[in-house]
Amino acid sequence: MCSRYDPHFKKERSSPRGRLFLFLGIVLIAAAVLALLFAWLNRFAFYHLMDGSSAQYAGFHHRMIVSFAAGIVLALAGAVIVRRSIKIRRKLK
């Protein structure tokens, strides 16, 4: 059994850069979830607006598309960054 007093014991190192990337990735994924929820809310408003002008419809549609695209981009960036942080942490072991 290996204990930390054993001379061959390797303490698991954690890189500050790896932790920073992990935290940044989680924040980006949370932002992506919020952006996608906002897109869903605008989609709901777009399809349930009864007596609105064409400018209101266009505004809801534009915000829906922009926030959906932003959510997808943020989710992909967050996933890539989390994957990279896991790679960095594995390399240190």
Mean pLDDT value across residues 71-88: 92
- pLDDT tens per residue across span 24-69: 999 999 999 999 999 999 999 988 888 889 999 999 999 999 999 9
The model's pTM is 0.77
Compute the distance between CA of residue 12 and CA of residue 87 in angstroms, rounded to an integer.
14
As a whole-number percent, the residues of the chain with pLDDT over 70 amount to 80
Compute the distance between CA of residue 18 and CA of residue 33 in angstroms, rounded to an integer.
23
Contact between residue 81 and residue 18 where contact means Cβ atoms under 8 Å apart: no
